[in-house]
Structure 1
Amino acid sequence: MRERNRDIRRRRQRRKKAMKARIKELISQAHTKTKPVKKPTEILQEEIKAVQKPATRVVRPPKGAKKTGEAEKKGE
């Protein structure tokens, strides 16, 4: 378990560093152009949205609930 947690932490750290590097690169690209189409902050927001994943939640029915398929069959 401890190794797994360590791996997760390392992965998270690596992802964070990669994101920071990408952001720096984007800012430098935006500044090198004579007239940037978008402001660096706008590019950053788009990048951050692309990188961040929504937390995946497993939605389970309540324990006593019947499965919808079974309930429909009995009703017919």
Structure 2
Amino acid sequence: MKSTKEVLPFAVILLAVNGDINAINQILKHFEHYVIRLSQKTLFDEHGNAYIHVEEETKRMLETKLITAILRFELS
């Protein structure tokens, strides 16, 4: 069974590691759904109904950590 996930091209990773803003944005877009999923929190309204809320502060923190990891990544 083949994976349906697309792999980032090596050229994009190389550019991102070297600080290219467009490549970093492309990586952020690639991981956007995962970051949103990690940022979700289940809350309850006044009637006890559950709903999903995306914590924007958590999302921004995860994106910042991803950018930091990209810029510190060493290709050898």
Q: Same fold (TM over 0.5)?
A: no
Greater relative contact order (Cα 8 A, min sep 6): structure 1 or 2? 2
Alignment TM-score, normalising by the size of structure 1 = 0.30
Alignment TM-score, normalising by the size of structure 2 = 0.30
Larger radius of gyration: 1
Higher share of residues assigned strand:
2
